[in-house]
């Protein structure tokens, strides 16, 4: 199948969230740069007696069928951003008469591989993967491609993906670090040696890029600030427990920089329960979820969140990418937008 590249970048979404790498970031580009070969042509090899017949059969399964089956494996359905996005995608697929099955891989690469294998066996048209380990999908991607099934990356790119929907993670992290540093300078003075905590996810390269960006933005803006603690927190529960531990060990922490709103919301809950004032500790995050924007509007310690498109906007982006994929005319990479949301513009996003 000859793929035609489209020039339009899929970023015209409703302004507002997600975790998901851009052209100026330090995230990896998908390795499949040859858009003239179908997945099965790329993977099947040149064995004319075995690969070609299966590739021909897989090719016959492509084209506009009207109805499609989608398998979706995501890292954490307890994450409010990702859960809301999946809900919107499910609703839109229902309206189109498409089928979608979403499963939680728990950031476990072994579990995710099994999930993808199950999707391949069930005969889906595409498997959308938010990888637990971007380097673990080679063999299972070949199995999918041999069956004429597309592989799509959501948020975290992997080399075998036919299409990736990702974010400029280093840049978005730097936006967080810069905002945090500016707030610390304004609130405590540029000479203050303030303490900062970070919520990270060190097993994912894209999240590492975000944290690297945070640190660089903070260092450039508030060089006297010091990161004294870090913890992994992707959801509210982990965000709460880690905030409790961090504040007990470092009671002078003045800011939390978070790779996503899930953990940030947990930290905010803890600070609010302690009666911490909005000018005492600041929380700076990424996603732009409605829950985070409500915290910002209500003058809590939650100061800002970088919107990568709302859950609905991200769902729209994923669906447009899927439609392009099924049409055979698509780009290899689609990017989310990056927009700072704080008290000055929150009403524009919280509707």
Checking if the pLDDT of 290 tops 80, the result is yes
**27 and 209 in contact (C-beta within 8 Å)?**
yes
What the block records as the tokens of 27 is 């995230």
Per-domain residue ranges of the chain? 69-166+313-335, 169-307
Instruction: Say what percent of the chain tops pLDDT 90.
Output: 70
> For 102-139, what is each residue's pLDDT tens digit?
999 998 999 999 999 999 999 999 999 999 898 999 99
Fold for the domain defined by 169-307: Rossmann fold (3.40.50)
pLDDT at position 40, please? 40
Residue 99 has phi, psi (to 5 degrees) of -110, 135
Domain 69-166+313-335 has CATH 3.40.50.2300: yes
Residue 118 or residue 59, greater confidence: 118
| C-alpha dist (Å) from residue 35 to 157, 218, 308 | 17, 40, 27
H-only helix segments in the chain: 39-44, 51-60, 80-96, 109-122, 138-146, 169-188, 205-221, 236-249, 261-273, 290-297, 311-327, 346-349
Domain 69-166+313-335 shares a fold with domain 169-307: yes
- Of 14-23, 119-128, 251-260, 323-332, the one with minimum mean pLDDT is 14-23
Closest CA to 214 of 260, 157, 252: 260
- pLDDT band for position 310 (cuts 50, 70, 90): confident
Checking if the pLDDT of 51 tops 90, the result is no
What the block records as the tokens of 28 is 């990896």
Q: Most distant CA pair in the chain: distance in Å?
A: 73
Give mean pLDDT, residues 179-195. Answer: 98
- Of 94-98, 204-208, 237-241, 316-320, the one with minimum mean pLDDT is 204-208
Q: Of all helices (H) and strands (E), which one includes residue 340?
A: strand 339-341
pLDDT at position 64, please? 61
Residues whose CB is less than 8 angstroms from the CB of residue 48 and which lie 6 or more positions away in sequence, other chains included: none
- pTM score of the predicted model: 0.65
> For 231-281, what is each residue's pLDDT tens digit?
999 999 999 999 999 999 999 999 999 999 999 999 999 999 999 999 999
pLDDT at position 320, please? 94
Checking if the pLDDT of 333 tops 60, the result is yes
Strands 99-104 and 69-74: parallel
CA angle 66, 164, 256 (to 5 degrees): 125
**334 and 10 in contact (C-beta within 8 Å)?**
yes
């Amino acid at each position: 199948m000859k793929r035609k590249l489209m020039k339009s970048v899929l970023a015209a979404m409703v302004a507002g969230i997600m975790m998901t790498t851009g052209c100026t970031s330090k995230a990896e580009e998908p390795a499949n740069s040859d858009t003239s070969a179908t997945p099965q042509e790329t993977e099947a090899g040149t064995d004319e007696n075995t690969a070609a017949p299966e590739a021909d059969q897989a090719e016959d399964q492509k084209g506009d069928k009207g109805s499609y089956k989608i398998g979706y494996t995501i890292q954490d359905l307890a994450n409010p951003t990702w859960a809301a996005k999946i809900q919107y995608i499910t609703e839109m697929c229902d309206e189109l008469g498409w089928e979608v099955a979403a499963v939680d891989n728990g950031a476990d690469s072994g579990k995710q591989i099994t999930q993808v294998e199950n999707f391949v066996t069930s005969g889906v048209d595409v498997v959308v993967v938010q990888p637990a380990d971007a380097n673990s999908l080679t063999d299972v991607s070949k199995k999918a491609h041999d069956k004429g099934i597309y592989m799509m990356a959501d948020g975290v790119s992997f080399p075998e993906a036919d299409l990736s929907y990702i974010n400029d993670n280093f840049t978005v992290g730097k936006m967080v670090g810069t905002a945090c540093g500016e707030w610390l300078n304004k609130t405590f003075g540029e000479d203050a040696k303030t303490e900062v905590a970070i919520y990270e996810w060190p097993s994912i390269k894209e999240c590492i890029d975000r944290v690297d960006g945070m640190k660089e933005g903070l260092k450039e803006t508030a060089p006297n600030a010091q990161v004294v603690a870090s913890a992994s927190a992707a959801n509210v529960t982990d965000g709460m427990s880690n905030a409790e531990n961090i504040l007990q060990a470092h009671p002078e922490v003045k800011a939390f920089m978070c790779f996503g709103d899930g953990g940030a919301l947990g930290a905010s809950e803890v600070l609010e329960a302690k009666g911490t004032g909005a000018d005492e500790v600041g929380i700076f995050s990424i996603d732009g979820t409605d829950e985070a924007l409500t915290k910002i509007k209500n003058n809590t310690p939650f100061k800002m969140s970088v919107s990568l498109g709302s859950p609905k906007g991200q769902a729209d982006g994923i669906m447009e990418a899927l439609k392009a994929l099924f049409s055979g005319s698509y780009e290899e990479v689609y990017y989310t937008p990056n927009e700072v949301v704080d008290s000055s513009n929150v009403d524009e996003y919280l509707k």
